[in-house]
Amino acid sequence: MGIGVIGCGNMGSMLAKAFSQTVEKQVWVYNRTPAKAVELSRQYPHITAELDLSNWIQNCEVVLLCVGKKDLPHLLAQVAPMLQDHQLLGTTCTAFSLAELGKHCKATPFLCVPSLTQHVNKGSILLSVPPSHTSSVTQLQTLFAAIAKPIFIQESQIRIFSDLTSCGPAFFAEILLTWSKAAANTRRITENEAREALLATVEGTLELLHSGMTMEEIQSSITVPGGVTSRGLDVLHEPLLQVFRRLHEATQAYAKQNNKPYQNCGCEPPDDPQLACQKVWPHAKI
């Protein structure tokens, strides 16, 4: 069976490309504006763009809805009636709960939080399944391990883990950019020289970690009591704790405000899929 990706924005396109290059399965894509899906199929031979959902959706072991909060209710109304209990239905929109996703669908629901690092088949991808459907973990583990390190989490943990994995590359980049500017402000090196040195240091540090060293061992191997590294760590420790505390508080507050239950147009998945709402995804043929 294949993999279906509905929504060819940044996340959907990234996942479709990653799967098409790493798993021996057909990848079907569908998008509200067909041109995006067609272009993906032209670039990647294992991707097929298909306007008629009924032609392929029942042949997928996994269907991923990679659309935003406003589009998801209407799309779910179209897709849900076509799915069976042996299939898995996931979404990258964590504004919807597992309960909401699975309410009108026979398929097993799951939440999926990708990361930009899946462009290079690296990093972590977050997955959450209902406690009553843990039997699907092995199936998801096998599939997503081809493009990332799957981390299975509870639904209540999504926000904090997302800060570390999905938002993480942006946060790491900001730290390196700010450090480069601070080093350049000493007027002894340029910002580009600082970036080059930091990137080489990050690459080397990652290799040390991959070799088996822990983060604590790296620190202790470099730090001499009372030495220059020790002084630098003393400066960083408390301010960094406060910075990251505020970071998590800010993202949590934003998520709480913006992930309120979405009041959709009133469309519920109908008994007859031919009656599904066409308001947002007008080209879908079901």
Averaged pLDDT in 10-residue chunks for the chain of 286 residues: 94 97 94 94 93 88 95 92 94 93 90 97 97 91 96 96 98 98 97 98 98 98 96 96 97 85 40 41 46
**d(C-alpha 12, C-alpha 265), whole Å:** 24
pLDDT computed for residue 260 by the predictor: 54
Q: Dihedral of the CA atoms 220, 226, 232, 233 (nearest 10)?
A: 40
Max Cα-Cα span within the chain: 74
Burial 6-28 (b: 16+ CB within 10 A, else e): bbbeebbbbbbbbbbebbebbbb
Q: Three-state DSSP class for 65?
A: strand
Burial 76-98 (b: 16+ CB within 10 A, else e): bbbbbbbbeeebbbbbbbbbbbb
- The model's pTM: 0.87
pLDDT computed for residue 122 by the predictor: 96
pLDDT computed for residue 261 by the predictor: 46
Q: Kindly report the backbone phi and psi dihedral angles of residue 89, in degrees, each rounded to the nearest multiple of 5, phi listed first.
A: -120, 115
